[in-house]
Amino acid sequence: MRFTKPMNELIKVRVSSDEKRQLIEIARRRGLTLSDFLRQTATEAARRIAA
């Protein structure tokens, strides 16, 4: 995923060890880093909710 603007902001989220393992595995299956997966998933969900 390429970005045109620098990403300098940080959002921290607490999850359980099991949740983290699951998120990492799903991201890996999609060929994404955990950060890319969470950013993409959260952005898509926010757009659906806002519509």
- Residues of the chain whose pLDDT is less than 70? 1-3
pLDDT given for residue 5 in this prediction: 85
In the chain, where the domains are located: 17-50
11-24 pLDDT, tens digit per residue, is 999 999 999 999 99
Instruction: Determine the length of the chain.
Output: 51
pLDDT score recorded for residue 4: 80
Q: Are 18 and 26 in contact (CB under 8 A)?
A: no
Contact of 40 with 32, CB cutoff 8 Å? yes
DSSP 8-class letter at 7: -
